[in-house]
Structure 1
Amino acid sequence: MEKDLRIFSHENILEQIKTAEFRNGYYVLEFYAENNKPSTKPSSTVAKFFLYPSGGTLRDSEFQLLFYDSRYDTYRGFNPPHLTRQKKET
């Protein structure tokens, strides 16, 4: 059985950003949602969330701030995949 990347976890964020669309400074991610927040359990609702690596923030589909995590902050040493992809292209 394949791992469900829509279950919210640190590992699934890292896995999703490997192939997620990167635009306007954020990654577009999809997770199960409950009350407009990412869920650690499957639910009937899947929503888009936006990860901003330049500030380590995750925002909901209306761009409301949900949380900050230094693990995703480029100013704290996070190296997101889009930077690696850019280096390979040049």
Structure 2
Amino acid sequence: MYRVGLEDILGFRVEKDKLFINPCIPKDWEGYSIRYTYGNAIYNIEVKNPDKVNKGVRKIIADGVVVKEGHINLVGDGVEHFVAVEM
């Protein structure tokens, strides 16, 4: 059940060293956050839903840089990373 919620609702999926975020949440959710550990790095992920939509990602910013690949490259570098997702 945990995996279904994490992957199918929150849209959080890891494949090898890549993180994909593609939420499918209720329209009335303002957003959510996830704290994820990869190796010895921490990824703080904040998803915001300002337009009250069910799905679709408008923009991802990882450590201040706009992500264009559709995924975040995970690095176990001992650093705390910040990811902002706008639906």
Max Rg structure: 1
After TM superposition, is the score higher than 0.5? no
* Higher helix fraction (1 or 2): 1
* Higher strand fraction (1 or 2): 2
Of structures 1 and 2, the one scoring higher in RCO (CA 8 A, sep 6+) is: 2
Length-normalised TM-score, structure 1: 0.29
Length-normalised TM-score, structure 2: 0.29
